[in-house]
């Protein structure tokens, strides 16, 4: 293994031992945002060779169920996903993975960028599901790593203006640094008032809103803020049950769509990074060695920075 990024879910398993129905019942290796060098091949592998630098798509589905066969393998009920119990993650020196979920990195794409293809793929999938296209106005709620990759992918897909909300000024500054056109610091506790502020700042209601905080109030704001006939994509996962203004969404034909991870997005994410159309490097704020993993997780738990990377190679 080379580089592994820490995700909020890794920290959650580490501190709480569960996410919803996924419960850690035995010691589990964390990590799922990863890149590596192939050190050994299974007998039937023909697509890779020893020494290849790869990004690892962490979820391997069954390949035979209805969802897999219809091209929506992210919905496969038999998914084996790194660091989702009971499956080990890949924050380790060595790790075994299916060859068809390893993506060869061109020489000029770094291992850090390779690892960041994982969160970037969430942005690729969310903006696909949202249907972001040329000239769309887009609102991204929440400027954590997932909000930030959605800014990058929305801009790359031709969004004219992207507005970003957060309650945290530092996160909004990062959003501006990577290309947000407008930012709104959420201070008002009334979601419809926040939606009005967003419309004032953008000069229009957004065609598409990508909710990346999971906060109940922000989900409500997302619906109020979106233009009639528009789309709200729910990326953020917070409380199980959230009260939302359904009548407002219903009578204005605002479509509400969910997303789960990504499907067939790694090749797109890699192409965007390799071509220079998307720059994920500014997301990285901290670097640690594998031996310092506990320190790295403590920093992540304190909410420091954006993306914390752990180097797993001995060199
Ligand atoms: P994060 O916690 O780093 O970022 C969330 C951001 O939302 C923070 O910056 C926070 O300040 C901000 N926020 C909180 N309340 C807000 C409000 N009322 N209005 C606006 N912003 C607010 O998390 P992340 O790693 O960026 O992930 C974001 C969410 O996406 C999480 O809920 C995570 O579980 C979810 N997620 C979902 C998928 C999926 O497949 N659907 C994949 C990855 C992550
Ligand atoms: Zn399947």
Check pocket membership of 167 for ligand 1, CB cut-off 6 A: yes
Query: What are the DSSP calls for 103-147, one per residue?
Result: EEPPTTS-HHHHHHHHHHHHHHHHHHHHT--TT-EEEEE--SHHH
**SS3 per-residue string spanning 226-257:** CCCCCEEEECCCCCCCCCCCHHHHHHCCCEEE
Check pocket membership of 147 for ligand 1, CB cut-off 6 A: yes
Mutating to test ligand 1, I would choose from 16, 125, 170, 212 the residue with most ligand atoms within 8 A of its C-beta, which is 212
pLDDT interval class at 152 (50, 70, 90): very high
Write down the pTM of the prediction.
0.98
pLDDT tens per residue, range 256-276: 999 999 999 999 999 999 999
Tell me, in angstroms, the distance from the centre of ligand 1 to residue 82's CA: 20
The percent of residues above 70 in pLDDT, for the chain, comes to 100
188 pLDDT above the threshold of 90: no
Q: Quickly count: other Cβ atoms within 10 Å of residue 199's Cβ.
A: 17
Q: What is the DSSP letter of 259?
A: -
Please choose, from the candidates 161, 247, 158, the residue with its C-alpha nearest in 3D space to the C-alpha of residue 206.
Answer: 161
Confidence at residue 68, expressed as pLDDT on a 0 to 100 scale: 98
Please name which ligand lies nearest the alpha carbon of 71: 2
Which atom from ligand 1 is nearest to the alpha carbon of 235? 41
State yes or no: cis peptide before 86, omega within 30 of 0. Answer: yes
Confidence at residue 104, expressed as pLDDT on a 0 to 100 scale: 98
The percent of residues above 90 in pLDDT, for the chain, comes to 98
314 pLDDT above the threshold of 90: no
Confidence at residue 266, expressed as pLDDT on a 0 to 100 scale: 98
Confidence at residue 312, expressed as pLDDT on a 0 to 100 scale: 98
pLDDT tens per residue, range 53-96: 999 999 999 999 999 999 999 999 999 999 999 999 999 999 99
Which residue has the CA at smallest separation from atom 17 of ligand 1?
218
Q: What average pLDDT score do residues 175-200 get?
A: 97
Which atom from ligand 1 is nearest to the alpha carbon of 122? 42
Q: What average pLDDT score do residues 107-128 get?
A: 98
Please choose, from the candidates 185, 175, 174, 184, the residue with its C-alpha nearest in 3D space to the C-alpha of residue 154.
Answer: 175
pLDDT interval class at 315 (50, 70, 90): low
Q: What average pLDDT score do residues 231-236 get?
A: 98
Tell me, in angstroms, the distance from the centre of ligand 1 to residue 213's CA: 3
Please name which ligand lies nearest the alpha carbon of 221: 1
Mutating to test ligand 1, I would choose from 8, 57, 191, 201 the residue with most ligand atoms within 8 A of its C-beta, which is 8
Confidence at residue 199, expressed as pLDDT on a 0 to 100 scale: 98
Confidence at residue 131, expressed as pLDDT on a 0 to 100 scale: 98
Tell me, in angstroms, the distance from the centre of ligand 2 to residue 76's CA: 4
Structure-block tokens of residue 6? 């820490």
136 pLDDT above the threshold of 90: yes
171 pLDDT above the threshold of 80: yes
Please name which ligand lies nearest the alpha carbon of 257: 1
Which atom from ligand 1 is nearest to the alpha carbon of 145? 26
Which residue has the CA at smallest separation from atom 35 of ligand 1?
236
pLDDT tens per residue, range 21-56: 999 999 999 999 999 999 999 999 999 999 999 999
Which residue has the CA at smallest separation from atom 9 of ligand 1?
144
């Amino acid at each position: 293994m080379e580089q592994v990024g820490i995700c909020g879910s890794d920290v959650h398993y580490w501190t709480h031992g569960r996410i919803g129905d996924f419960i850690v019942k035995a010691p589990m290796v964390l990590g799922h945002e990863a890149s590596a060098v192939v050190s050994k091949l299974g007998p039937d592998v023909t697509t890779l060779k020893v020494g290849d630098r790869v990004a690892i798509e962490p979820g391997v589905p069954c390949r035979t169920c209805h969802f897999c066969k219809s091209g929506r393998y992210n919905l496969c009920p038999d998914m084996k996903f790194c660091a989702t119990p009971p499956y080990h993650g890949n924050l380790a020196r060595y790790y075994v993975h299916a060859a068809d979920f390893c993506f060869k990195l061109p020489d000029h794409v770094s291992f850090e960028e390779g690892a960041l293809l994982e969160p970037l793929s969430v942005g690729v999938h969310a903006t696909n599901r949202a249907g972001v296209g040329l000239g769309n106005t887009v609102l991204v709620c929440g400027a954590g790593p997932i909000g930030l990759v959605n800014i990058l992918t929305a801009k790359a897909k031709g969004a004219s203006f992207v507005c970003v909300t957060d309650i945290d000024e530092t996160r909004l500054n990062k959003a501006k640094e990577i290309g947000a056109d407008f930012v709104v610091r959420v201070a008002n506790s009334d979601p419809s008032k926040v939606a009005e502020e967003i419309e004032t700042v953008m000069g229009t209601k957004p065609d598409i809103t990508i909710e990346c905080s999971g906060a109940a109030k922000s989900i409500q704001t997302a619906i109020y803020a979106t233009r009639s006939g528009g789309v709200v994509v729910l990326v953020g996962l917070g409380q199980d049950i959230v009260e939302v203004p359904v009548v407002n969404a219903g009578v204005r034909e605002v479509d509400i769509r969910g997303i789960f991870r990504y499907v067939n997005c790694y090749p797109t994410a890699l192409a965007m990074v390799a071509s220079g159309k998307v720059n994920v490097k500014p997301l990285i704020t901290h670097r640690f060695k594998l031996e310092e993993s506990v320190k790295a997780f403590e920093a992540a738990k304190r909410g420091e920075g954006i993306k914390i990377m752990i180097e797993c190679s001995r060199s």
